[in-house]
């Protein structure tokens, strides 16, 4: 593919819609009692129902419904009280029934949205709402394991362990306009799903899979005709990382513009992303597309999720990332960026909040976690769980820094030491803490110096604002490089200031 000039690219408006499949973390499969677990000896997690043997009947997994409702509500969908399972008929070796139980015209949820960070025409940062057309329930197929790629497949093996795994499919409106927005949408969706706990969203294991529908149209047509001018879409299937999806969408946009610029037409087709080559390949065209002949699944009654059951399910809804960030910013007076880092996972946010409640300054805990600790963990290639410094250690370090007993330089040295020796902070602190100055005369000299240099605060104190004493303690602590005996310092500061008498 020859590179297109920025001028040519700028004439076109890409349009993208995503279909995301998410495996639900139920104990058992969607319609039988088989274990729902990744891996295992091939073809050992199967029974007559998930193998689709004649006469075997499906029974819907209640937990799968609850997870679907939770996921749907978390992305602002409306729940349909009575939804219908349908058969989607097609033959594929890894789907032995010859059909997939899915939902068609009456899905369990519709009309949701997800907000993503983006940019407006002028380049200013904005929040953009991407519509979610629907969320429906279905079952996964088994796996075909190919030897080779595309034209050169020599053997294919079938593993039916995954057959019947409960899925939700989340279909977006064609509201996405750039590969970056695609990346952001997926990032937000995954974050929300992880918070709800309905899926582990592990992309390597295929718990979250994404198909991207991409088309392009001329910007002038977009302005004039809007959605009516959408171009023909091609679908890029089953890319297994968000980065690759972004690359695949970028590639696909340029490919389609190239086709049109050369006077050709984009054909409606499914394409596969080859990461090694950084390009997409045609997989099957619309002519070979399936006619699924959907009809209501005769072996399952309509699914009724009434108001009461919905309310019951919603009791399990955790505080979601966006709301949690907003609350944490207000409650702990931390920056938006720190809040974003701290809420990256629900566990991290829980641990931070737990620590923040015990610390003198949550802000300082936040900054220690997001800068000093994160930096050292990254350098050592460790996860938070593997950190030599515990959360209690972080709280202690933050408190010592807050009271001025530790200078920031000293704090960094102690943390370095903790990581070098693989010891928790309190251990290192006890051994390596700065020598304390307990010489009354020396401390008094420093207090005098600070009093002389801060007339305004002295006035405030003498005017009755006793809390200003902390300011003096902090200043002297800094002057002593964190070495003044804190108890003695506190006592002497109060004594010195009181000796000045009220105003
Ligand atoms: P299909 O019936 O071919 O699967 P759907 O209408 O169900 O198509 O849409 C599937 C996905 O494709 C949705 O995410 C939708 O937003 C997206 N989509 C539909 N039309 C376009 C288009 N012209 N360009 C990009 N994406 C599109
Ligand atoms: Mg589709
Ligand atoms: Zn089974």
As a whole number, mean pLDDT of residues 121-134 equals 93
Residue 364 has a CB neighbour count (10 Å cut-off) of 20
Q: Inform me whether the pLDDT recorded for 461 exceeds 80.
A: yes
Q: Inform me whether the pLDDT recorded for 283 exceeds 90.
A: no
Choose between 178 and 483: higher pLDDT.
Answer: 178
**Which pLDDT tens digit goes with each residue over 393-418?**
999 999 998 887 787 888 999 999 99
CA distance 290 to 280: 21
As a whole number, mean pLDDT of residues 377-381 equals 93
- Going by C-beta distance under 8 Å and a sequence separation of 6 or more, which residues neighbour residue 164? 29, 30, 31, 32, 34, 49, 50, 139, 140
Count the alpha carbons within 13 Å of 482 in the hemisphere toward its beta carbon.
19
Q: Is 19 in the pocket of ligand 1 (CB under 6 A)?
A: yes
Q: Is 173 in the pocket of ligand 1 (CB under 6 A)?
A: yes
**Atom number, ligand 1, closest to the C-alpha of residue 235:** 12
CA distance 176 to 174: 6
Choose between 20 and 228: higher pLDDT.
Answer: 20
**Atom number, ligand 1, closest to the C-alpha of residue 19:** 14
Task: Determine contact, residues 138/167, Cβ cutoff 8 Å.
Answer: yes
Helix axes 391-402 and 408-421, enclosed angle (nearest 10)? 160
In order of start, what are the domains of the chain with their CATH numbers? 6-290 (no CATH), 321-427 (no CATH), 440-499 (1.10.10.410)
**Which ligand has the nearest atom to the CA of 102?**
2
Q: Is 171 in the pocket of ligand 1 (CB under 6 A)?
A: yes
Tell me which of 236-240, 293-297, 465-469 is least confident.
236-240
209 CA from centroid of ligand 2 (Å): 13
Q: Is 174 in the pocket of ligand 1 (CB under 6 A)?
A: yes
Q: Is 230 in the pocket of ligand 1 (CB under 6 A)?
A: yes
Q: Supply angle C-alpha 279, 282, 288, rounded to 5.
A: 165
Neighbours of ion ligand 3 (CB under 5 A): 32, 34, 47, 49-50
Alpha carbon 466 to its chain centroid, in Å, reads 46
401 CA from centroid of ligand 1 (Å): 55
**Which ligand has the nearest atom to the CA of 171?**
1
Q: Rounded to two decimals, what is the model's pTM?
A: 0.84
């Amino acid at each position: 593919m020859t590179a297109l000039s920025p001028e040519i690219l700028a004439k076109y408006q890409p349009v993208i819609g995503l279909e995301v499949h998410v495996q639900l973390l139920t104990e058992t499969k969607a319609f039988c009692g088989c274990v729902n677990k990744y891996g295992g000896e091939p073809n050992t997690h199967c029974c007559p129902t998930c193998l689709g043997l004649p006469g075997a009947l499906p029974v819907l997994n209640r937990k799968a419904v609850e997870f679907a409702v939770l996921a749907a509500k978390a992305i602002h969908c409306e729940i349909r009280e009575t939804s219908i399972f349908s058969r989607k008929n097609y033959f594929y070796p890894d789907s032995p029934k010859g059909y997939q139980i899915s939902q068609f015209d009456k899905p369990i949820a519709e009309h949701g949205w997800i907000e993503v960070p983006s940019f407006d025409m002028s380049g200013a940062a904005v929040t953009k709402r991407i519509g979610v057309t629907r969320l429906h329930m279905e079952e996964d197929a088994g796996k075909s394991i190919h030897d080779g790629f595309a034209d050169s497949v020599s053997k294919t093996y079938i593993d039916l362990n995954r057959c019947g795994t409960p899925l939700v499919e989340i279909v977006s409106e064609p509201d996405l306009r750039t590969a970056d927005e695609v990346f952001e949408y997926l990032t937000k969706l995954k974050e929300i799903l992880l918070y709800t706990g309905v899926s582990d969203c592990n992309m390597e294991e295929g718990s979250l899979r994404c198909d991207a529908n991409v088309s392009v149209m001329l910007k002038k047509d977009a302005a004039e005709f809007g959605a009516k001018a959408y171009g023909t879409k091609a679908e890029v299937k089953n890319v297994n990382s968000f980065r690759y999806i972004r690359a695949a969408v970028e590639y696909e946009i340029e490919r389609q513009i190239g086709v049109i610029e050369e006077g050709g037409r984009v054909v409606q087709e499914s394409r596969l992303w080859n990461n090694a080559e950084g390009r997409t390949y045609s997989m099957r065209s619309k002519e070979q597309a399936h006619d699924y002949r959907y009809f209501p699944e005769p072996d399952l009654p309509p699914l009724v999720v009434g108001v009461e059951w919905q309310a019951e399910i919603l009791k399990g809804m955790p505080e979601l990332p966006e709301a949690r960030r907003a609350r944490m910013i207000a409650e702990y007076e931390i920056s938006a960026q720190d809040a974003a880092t701290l809420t990256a996972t629900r566990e991290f946010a829980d641990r931070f909040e737990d620590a923040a409640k015990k610390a003198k300054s949550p802000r300082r805990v936040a900054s220690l976690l997001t800068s000093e600790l994160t930096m050292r963990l990254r350098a050592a290639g460790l996860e938070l769980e593997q950190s030599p410094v515990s959360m209690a250690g972080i709280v202690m370090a933050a408190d010592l820094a807050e009271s001025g007993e530790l200078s920031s330089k000293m704090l960094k040295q102690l943390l370095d030491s903790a990581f070098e020796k693989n010891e928790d902070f309190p251990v290192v602190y006890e051994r390596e803490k700065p020598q304390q100055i307990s010489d009354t005369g020396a401390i008094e000299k420093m207090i005098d110096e600070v009093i002389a240099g801060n007339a305004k605060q002295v006035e405030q104190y003498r005017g009755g604002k006793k809390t200003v004493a902390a300011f003096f303690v902090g200043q002297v602590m800094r002057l002593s490089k964190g070495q003044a005996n804190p108890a003695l310092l506190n006592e002497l500061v109060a004594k010195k200031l009181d000796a000045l008498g009220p105003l």
